[in-house]
Amino acid sequence: MRLQNLHTHSTYCDGKNTLRELAEEAVKKGFCTLGFSSHSFTEFDQSYCMKNESEYIRECAGLKEEYKDRLDILRGLELEYYSDAPKYPYDYLIGSVHYIYCRGEFFTVDESPQILEEAAKKYFGGDIMAICEKYYDTVADVVRKTDCDIIGHFDLITKFCEVKPGLIDLESQSYRKAVSRALDRLIDSGRIFELNTGAIAKGYRTLPYPSPEIVRRLADSGAKFTISSDCHKKEQLDFWFEDAKKYLVANGVKKVYLYNNGIFEEERISG
């Protein structure tokens, strides 16, 4: 498989490396394509998002020209569901949900298990499953809201389920129905689902997003996949990529989609 990663973060948002450092690492690792995808601006939480979009646009363009003979650099954006529409043109958009909005306030779903538990008590009478239903209802709408090309880390809300067993009952009918409703809407959109290895790199999970059960459901429906590491450090650019291919194949996926000359092209994979 040609090496490509469209989900990367730099010092423009919450990443540890500059765009140039990411590009240099991609060249060293033999990548054909590298997509930058800074977090979109969120007025209600500016702790992690991109604040200087115009400079990001300028630097992406400069690096694309500088590296054109060694690496195809793409200008992407991870567009949060609750962000405004982009002000600038992008090669692609990743649509993601990191927050839930309730009673005039936002809370994150991927910062800590404690935040989820506290939000459940504050807004839902202690019912974390109600948070899951709210989350998946929002994810179900992410393509309509963002017009994204790629659906980011579909089941992000399960980030802490391995480090805190019992946080969410993933086997319950309520959880399965919430997932199924979201998948029904998103599958019909024809957009690409991201196989995201980021939480493994951070030590929270041993498997990527989405879960095996969700991947199998998507594979049965003919959904499209792309592999990314959601990297925040240059060393993670290709984290778990070989295992990711095996994971997809083991769960019924026979091809992935890579960006090339303005379109996503399929490439067969084997495990």
pLDDT mean over 40-48: 96
User: Per-residue confidence at 2, pLDDT binned at 50, 70, 90?
Assistant: very high
Residue 100, by phi and psi: left (phi above 0), alpha (psi -120 to 50) or beta? Answer: beta
Which of 184, 205, 187 is CA-nearest to residue 196? 205
Which of 252, 189, 191 is CA-nearest to residue 219? 252
pLDDT of residue 271: 74
pLDDT of residue 1: 81
**If DSSP codes are grouped into helix, strand and coil, which group holds residue 72?**
strand
CA gap 203, 110 in Å, rounded: 13
**If DSSP codes are grouped into helix, strand and coil, which group holds residue 194?**
strand
Query: What share of the chain in percent tops pLDDT 70?
Result: 100
- pTM (global) more than 0.85: yes
User: Per-residue confidence at 46, pLDDT binned at 50, 70, 90?
Assistant: very high
Domains of the chain, earliest start first: 4-268 (3.20.20.140)
pLDDT 10s digits, 169-196: 999 999 999 999 999 999 999 999 999 9
pLDDT 10s digits, 106-135: 999 999 999 999 999 999 999 999 999 999
| pLDDT > 80? residue 53 | yes
| pLDDT > 90? residue 244 | yes
| pLDDT > 90? residue 45 | yes
The mean pLDDT value of the chain amounts to 98
